[in-house]
Amino acid sequence: MIASLIEGVPHRALALLGALLVALVAAPLVAGDYLLTVLILILYFAYIGQAWNIMMGFAGQLSLGHALYVGLGAYTAASLYVHFGIGPWLGLLAAVPVAALAGAFIGFLAFRFRVAGVYFAILTIAVAEFARVGFDHLSWASGSSGLFLPVAQFTHNDLWQLRGHPVMFYYILLAAAVLAFIFCRALLQSRVGYFWRAIREDEEAARSAGIDVFHYKMIAVVISAAMTSFAGVIYAFYYNNLFPEQVFHISRSIEIILGPIVGGIGTLFGPILGAVILTGLAETLTAALAAAGIDLPGAKQVFYGICLLLVITTLPDGVWPWVCKRIGLAERNK
């Protein structure tokens, strides 16, 4: 199993990945509080970007509503915790199926009735917006006044209840990002991965090659939604407050997809690199502006826009494929 996972990976790539992993494991030892929060954000977006990439990069289905799955995961686990004292890991057992069902619902509507391309993207936005408005009026989840978790005690780390220091969240997200990376590689090299890429390339030709397109698209959306909801659970217990206006907002969905687009859609390392570039540089910019005493609201969004423009005009396949060529590594299975 492990042997088949690393089969065909150049030794240099393995060495680089190993070095990166060691650096990330060691990072909290040297990073200050601020740097740590930035690293947490990077890992968070790297993980979600990976999940989104399964739908768009592998199966070719553009979702612009992934905030829905984050929000459903976050709200399900947080509500269970606030109302019944059910811890996040048990809450995950409810949060993941809820998000997976939402994904299956969208997928069924779209794929059964052949809603594709931009129309599919609009459908994903619509359902996320429904959820935003719906949760605004859902008093059980405290509606628009926001759902608050009891604030964490930083004196000790309770991994079971996810109460504790950001370092704990850092390692959880690091583990999640690493596992997601490995999982996606396994998916891409499996039968399902081949069928997804066939569908992405030409749906009609895929159908004529005997592929049950509906079935495999459903698998993609359900896996992607389920994975994304885990990030939502972590989000809820890390920030301790949830507002429908923020969690389900379309700008959140856009944030999720920027990383993989900048890094390289359909590649395995693209979502990670994209998260590093966007979050890393945006936070650097914010810090630099703050240090210079300049208060510029929206500077981060402008920066995102510039990054996107640069990538689309100069490297439409993303930064990672370009880097690959530069360092002489070819990621197969684009």
Of 47 and 320, the one with the shorter C-beta distance to another protein is 320
The distance of closest approach from Cβ of residue 4 to another protein in the complex, given in angstroms and rounded to an integer, is 9
Residue 6 binds to another protein (criterion: CB under 8 A): no
The distance of closest approach from Cβ of residue 182 to another protein in the complex, given in angstroms and rounded to an integer, is 17
The distance of closest approach from Cβ of residue 293 to another protein in the complex, given in angstroms and rounded to an integer, is 48
The distance of closest approach from Cβ of residue 219 to another protein in the complex, given in angstroms and rounded to an integer, is 15
Of 178 and 268, the one with the shorter C-beta distance to another protein is 268
Of 145 and 208, the one with the shorter C-beta distance to another protein is 208
**Helix, strand, coil shares of the chain as percentages rounded to 5?**
75, 0, 25
Q: How far apart are CA 62 and CA 52, in angstroms?
A: 9
- Hey, how many other C-beta atoms are within 10 angstroms of the C-beta on 160? 10
Of 210 and 297, the one with the shorter C-beta distance to another protein is 210
The three-state secondary structure class of 178 is helix
Residue 302 binds to another protein (criterion: CB under 8 A): no
Q: How far apart are CA 195 and CA 213, in angstroms?
A: 8
The tokens describing 151, both together, are 């604030």
Of 201 and 245, the one with the shorter C-beta distance to another protein is 201
The distance of closest approach from Cβ of residue 201 to another protein in the complex, given in angstroms and rounded to an integer, is 4
Alpha-carbon Rg for the chain, nearest whole angstrom, is: 20
| CA separation, residue 102 to residues 57, 124, 160, 185, 187 (Å) | 20, 10, 27, 25, 22
The distance of closest approach from Cβ of residue 220 to another protein in the complex, given in angstroms and rounded to an integer, is 16
Of 148 and 194, the one with the shorter C-beta distance to another protein is 194
Q: How many residues bind another protein (CB under 8 A)?
A: 21
Of 22 and 209, the one with the shorter C-beta distance to another protein is 209
Amino acid at 157: N
Using CB under 8 A, which of 213, 254, 281, 299 touches another protein?
213
DSSP state of 294: -
Instruction: Compose the 172-211 pattern: x for residues touching another protein by CB under 8 A, - for all others.
Output: -----------------xxx--xx-xx--xx-xxxxxxxx
| CA separation, residue 237 to residues 171, 202, 291 (Å) | 14, 41, 30
The tokens describing 99, both together, are 């998000």
Asked if 150 contacts 90 with a C-beta cutoff of 8 angstroms, the reply is: no
DSSP state of 241: E
The distance of closest approach from Cβ of residue 261 to another protein in the complex, given in angstroms and rounded to an integer, is 16
Residue 157 binds to another protein (criterion: CB under 8 A): no
Interface contacts to another protein, rule CB under 8 A: 189-191, 194-195, 197-198, 201-202, 204-213, 333-334
